Structure 1
Amino acid sequence: MSIPSATADAMLGMLDAAQHADALTPGQIATLIDPRTVQTPALDLIDAELDRLLATPDGRLGISMPPQEGKTTRVVRDFVIRALERNPDTRVVAGAYNQSLANRNGLMIRRAISSVPQLGLAISRDNGSKHEWELEGHRGGVLSVGRGAGVDGRPADMIVIDDPVNRTEADSELARDDCWDWWTESLSARLAPGAPVVVIMTRWHEDDLIGRLVERDTHAGWRIVNIPAQCEDPATDPLGRQAGEYMISARRNRDGTPRTREQWESRKRTVGPRVWNAMYQGHPSPAEGGIFKRDWWKRWTRVPQLTGTFIQSWDLTFKGTDSSDFVVGQVWMRQGADFWLLDQVRGRWSFTETIEQIVDMSRRWPQATAKLIEDKANGPAVIDSLNKKLPGIIPVTPHESKVARANAVTPLCAAGNVHLPANSVASWADDAVEELAGFPNASHDDVVDALTQALNCLNGATAAFQRFHIG
């Protein structure tokens, strides 16, 4: 690969600066290899985490991030070169879900080293296969192995694992067990004292390698960095974004402009809520669901006859417009043994906007005279304000945990007595089902709280319901 002369001075400047520093950053190495590299805030964060990893004895790092945003190249190629540049005697084991991908990754590193002689690294002439090679004059190099491949007798001064399970295998417990055995019985046994490990993957299943490392390998001190495509909580967002803000993508349009918000939204609609939450947000949920199973819900496409008991159920937020939490309002109807979700609104609203939403819902559904509002968060202030405007405000004070309240209504759901709209008649319905399926591990539970509050009250399970005789 030839380097354009327009960038030569900048590259030489980076190399000169590196002589007075510890080494080039992975991002700087990426630019040396390919001057067209797009450095995004997400890749800046990954660079910082990788340098932290190298500086931490026995460091353990897991990174999840949306696909096609540069994480594999940055970690598998640029970080490995960074480690070899720092210490050419570093013996790296690079793993992937099969040998073909492992070979491709090993060849990618090898070609990059050969393309930038300014790094001062060279591949040994007598040891240069795709999957295994050493540096000229040093014992360091790369051994690339697919999942399940043995590494007996091969010491590892660093291990890099790239997507140990692919999409088609993600739901296979056998494949996940095979991956875990590969890590515990083979790879980890080859680690030298102080050796760092990094796992990068797109998450498809909550019981994947990162999930198991967090749950089972607790003594190792794994640091897990999840970079979601869209900010969920400004207080914890790794990129410091505002709620709902999308990441700056490393992918570019043909004219060089970054992916637009509209393009992100289109992608979100195309893949659907389950894939979006797992693949793009890093929050996989069980295929069948957690506490609430996906196949429990009856989905209606035609509005049922509006007769029975109607209520509104509201879950409020602790903050205003800058909150990561959502306000959720729902309208429910009970007919005999069945419960129907008829309407829902959801948004990040200020106190005043929340009042307006409740008033507006009450205009649309005058039948729902009982309005359940949890007597927490903004609840007391909202209740006090609405008592002067609307009849039927019912404060609800929960005395059990969210999980306990959810478990209390699961028999109704499992029996097929709970009816939710189909997405064809309510565009928010599939997102609601996905939040329910992910509970209690999903990033939000506002829909769950409103639903369990409504069902518990309509089923006569709360003092508020019995006191106001609304059923």
Structure 2
Amino acid sequence: MKSLCASVAWPAWILGNQPTARIIVASYSRLLSEKHSLDTRCIMQSSWYRELFPEVGLSKDQNTKYKFQTVQRGYRIATSVGGTLTGEGGDFIIVDDPLSPAQALSETFRKRATNWFDQTLVARLNNRKKGVIVLVMHRLHQEDLTGHLLSKPKNIWNHTCLPMISENKEIIYSIKKPAPPFLVPVTRVTTNEYKSWITASSARMTPPVILYSREEGQLLYPLDGGKEEVEMIKVELGSYAFAAQYQQNPLPLSSGIIKREWLKRYRNFSDSLSYVTQSWDTAVSTSSMSNFSVCTTWTKVGNKFYLLDVYRAKLEYPKLKEQVLSLAARWTPHAILIEAKTSGQQLVQELKTNSDLPIIEIVPHDDKLTRFYQIVPIIESGKVFLLHQAVWLNDFEYEILMFPETRHDDQVDSTVQYLQWVRDSSSRVAALRAL
């Protein structure tokens, strides 16, 4: 909805009222930005829009998904974060979702976005006194672009924050008319805050128009499932992602993302396990600085995941293959997951050719930290169970509780690989059932 309002409808409205206006709209993806541009152009070519703004027409000389122009020489340009804007300027610059959730976890992508904003985009404003820059996004990280702008001196930016669940009584006032010099124009304040910036000399003034208000705990928009649906969203996303994307209040990242109390315990399992999966994270060196090869063995009961065993050692390739065969003979897994990286490719090829083991080659698509955050909600919801006592338990707990600050993370990689695979498998089954 925010993109529809800010990137699609608003540019059409601006050009309808100011056909000479020059607008730049940017997003994290060039493809997404161009889609929004096409949607705006579709509105402006509609019969109802032409009836509403009969004097506004699109130029035939400049009418592409990247840039279209009015006959009055106003335009809308679509670009992406990091894109070049040489020779182009804007009276209105709109930045809509400069980072994807996955990119926000990367310091490299965050710095790329803030550097591009500070060093390239701001310089494209045609008139720094009269021009407008609008950033619209849901929060993703404390150091995302919103966090970067809020760290600057106060009163440079007007900040409107709309959490899904109101954390106090909220009142949003209109600032359409310039405020007197002794008032600071703000767009979101509580009743007490509003009182604090009305001075004694302005006590008789007519207060700004209230555009929107809601009580503490009230949802921003109604959901069919009410607050129960909100709780379901929170469980699915995890507390970190929910606090950022829905409450607009990203939590600080500590060295330990997983909390000990999230990991549940079990004492034993019967010998007849219905479905066993092994997840391998492989390495092929025994040097002191090399990684371990790790195999975690799991079973699934309902929507709960039980870690049965952890094997962890530094092995050269021939021994690694022998160990895969040995652990497979011990547990009789229904699936053996092996990541298709350098150390795993030869293993996958040989086992598929020379054995009847149920080998599944895994090709990861995101960086390690992003993949980890994708499975955090599963652990946070209490669905992962560890043995009450095991020789491998202390090392496993230390690594997963301290990630990403640990020296080794092979047990984490193996665990993430399994939980991602079983989650994606469940999604595929659900999709097939819906057909």
Q: What TM-score, normalized by structure 2, do the two folds share?
A: 0.48
Q: What TM-score, normalized by structure 1, do the two folds share?
A: 0.45
